[in-house]
Structure 1
Amino acid sequence: MKRTVIISLTLILILLSPIQTNAEKSYYIPQEDSTELRLQDMLMNFINPYINDAIQGYYQHLLRELPLVYPYFVDMIESHRVNGFRGFILSITLDVTPVIGPHISVGKDRLTFEISAGPKAKLVNYTHLKTYELPTHWQDIIKKPKKY
């Protein structure tokens, strides 16, 4: 009897103790401010209206409520100069996660913009990567296909 209690308590303590993991986070979260982070945030402030226009253009046919993309739901995938060294036409590719309501993700999309003087940003490529299923209490915003 005493032995069973000791074994049970030992197993409970082992199972309840935190397990250390070395798993890598799926994305980088900066722990302090830097010049690079401020420049990236300035770029996101500038380009965010263009991102939201592109996202809303895609999802307007699928959802009754238009999603938004917040700057912290944008990952920069690639950037380069289109017209060579010190050229001021730049290309930037972003992965974005549009959300509705209380930050419910509706999908994942990849957008490529060409940014030039003006300043202006032109969408040159839009790829829908993934659709996320909405919770049951948000299913009513999904547009049903028209029957002909």
Structure 2
Amino acid sequence: MKTRGNYNFQDMLVLLLRPHMEEKLDVFTVPGSPDIYPYLVDVTHTERTNGFRGFDLLITLDVRPTVGPHIPVGEDIFITYRISAAGVELKNLEHLKGPNKNEFPPNYQDLLK
């Protein structure tokens, strides 16, 4: 079976990390409102922090959350997680800007904090 390169692994990682991402994105919108579609998430960096075959890893994701019919919630959000035998730990969360309430459709403005 032919694969699409590393996209299979990226998609699996995104699906496994999605609940962690959704939990942290509540700081920008009303809890439970942002949607994270796996095809709007990119793995931008991975790093093995403790050498060859060490199982302590960092992963950085570029996330573009939306509400309603794919209305972007601001600009990119970069999330870095540490993944190890102990589990998943948030290391960094960076939201570049937005969302701007004036740019949201009136019927979705109540979703913003």
Choose which of 47, 57, 62 in structure 2 pairs with 1:95.
62
Q: Using the TM superposition, give the Cα deviation of residue 130 of structure 1 relative to its aligned residue in structure 2, in angstroms.
A: 2.1
Seen in structure 2, the aligned counterparts of structure 1 residues 135 and 53 have a Cα distance that, compared at 3 Å, is same
Pair 1:34 & 2:4 matched: yes
Identify the structure with the greater strand proportion.
Answer: 2
Partner of 2:13: 43
Following TM superposition, by how much is the alpha carbon of 1:114 offset from its aligned partner in structure 2, in angstroms? 0.3
Tell me how far apart the structure 1 counterparts of residues 37 and 66 of structure 2 sit (CA, whole Å).
8
Amino acid at match of 1:134: F
Secondary structure of 1:80's counterpart equals strand
Q: CA deviation at 1:55?
A: 1.0
What TM-score, normalized by structure 2, do the two folds share? 0.82
Q: In the alignment, residue 84 of structure 2 is paired with which amino acid?
A: S
**CA RMSD in angstroms, aligned pairs only:** 2.0
**Which consecutive unaligned segments of at least 5 residues does structure 2 have?**
none
Given that 1:80 and 1:90 are in contact with CA atoms closer than 8 Å, whether structure 2 keeps it comes out as yes
Is the Cα contact below 8 Å between 2:22 and 2:32 reproduced in 1?
Answer: no
Q: Partners in 2 of 1:76 and 1:35 — Cα distance?
A: 14
Number of residues of Structure 1 aligned to a counterpart in Structure 2: 108
Work out whether residues 59 and 66 of structure 1, in 8 Å CA contact, stay in contact via their aligned partners in 2.
no
Pick from 53, 59, 67 the counterpart of residue 28 of structure 2: 59
The equivalent residue for 1:117 is 85
TM-score in terms of structure 1 length:
0.64
Q: Distance in 1 between matches of 2:16 and 2:110?
A: 33
Q: 1:96 to 1:82 in 2, by over 3 A?
A: same
> Using CA pairs below 8 Å that are at least 6 residues apart, which structure has the higher relative contact order?
2
| Unpaired stretches in structure 1, ≥5 consecutive residues | 1-31, 144-148
Return the structure number with greater helix share. Answer: 1
CA shift, 1:65, in A, is 6.1
What is the percent sequence identity of the aligned residues? 42
Report how far residue 38 of structure 1 moved. Answer: 1.1
Is the Cα contact below 8 Å between 1:98 and 1:105 reproduced in 2?
yes
